[in-house]
Amino acid sequence: MAGGPDVEPVRYGAEPDPRTGPPARERDAWELALIEAALDRGVPLLGICRGMQLLNVALGGTLVQHVDGHAEVPGVFGRHPVKPVPGTRCAAAVPEETYVPTYHHQAVDRLGNGLIPSAHAEDGTVEAIELPAPRWALGIQWHPEMAEDLRVMQALVAAVRGQSCR
Q: Which residues are catalytic?
A: 49, 143, 145
Three-class SS of residue 159? Answer: helix
Written as one string, the DSSP assignment of 32-89 is HHHHHHHHHHT--EEEETHHHHHHHHHTT--EES--TTSS-BTTB-EEEEEEEPTTSH
Question: What whole-number distance in Å separates Cα of residue 162 and Cα of residue 67?
Answer: 36
Helix (H) or strand (E) run with residue 158 in it:
helix 151-160
CA-based torsion, 39, 27, 156, 104: positive or negative: negative
| Pairing between β-strand 107-108 and β-strand 63-64 as defined by DSSP bridges | antiparallel
Alpha carbon distance 35, 27 (integer Å): 12
Asked if the bond preceding 101 is cis, omega within 30° of 0, the reply is no
